[in-house]
Amino acid sequence: MKPQPFAVTPDAQARALNVVGEKITVLAPNTATQGYEVFLQQGEEGSGPPPHSHDWDESFYITRGTIDIGYDDQVITATAGTFVHVPAGTVHHFR
């Protein structure tokens, strides 16, 4: 089936899930895009998952505030407007 265009307005977003203390809202599931997923992730200062990896690529675009993202034995402080890509199998974490 060919993916169809769609838009998700703030009033139509799915209910946020609580994942290790972070609010995760699924904006675009793989069933709609047939290739990737898009999430809105929000959390309190200092929150975030422990170091982990998975079998898929993960990318982050910081919309506001700052976040420390660690990968490959380095930690960067990403500010609003920063894009970070983490390939599958890379151990990473963020706060």
Q: Which residues pair with 93 in a beta bridge?
A: 70
- Name the phi and psi angles at 10, rounded to 5: -55, -35
- Residue 42's domain comprises 1-48
Residues 60 and 92 in one domain: yes
Return d(Cα 81, Cα 50) in angstroms, integer: 24
Residues 80 and 66 in one domain: yes
In tens digits, the chain (95 residues) has pLDDT values of 788 899 999 999 999 999 888 899 999 998 888 889 999 999 888 888 899 999 999 999 999 999 999 999 999 999 999 999 999 999 999 99
pTM for this model (two decimals): 0.79
Which of 48, 69, 84 is the C-terminal boundary of a domain? 48
Are the C-beta atoms of 79 and 66 separated by less than 8 Å? yes
- Quote the pLDDT of residue 5: 93
- Quote the pLDDT of residue 88: 94
Residues 44 and 55 in one domain: no
Q: Return the structure tokens found at 50.
A: 């422990």
Picking from 29, 85, 27, the residue whose alpha carbon sits closest to that of residue 61 is 85
DSSP, collapsed to helix, strand or coil, labels residue 6 as: coil
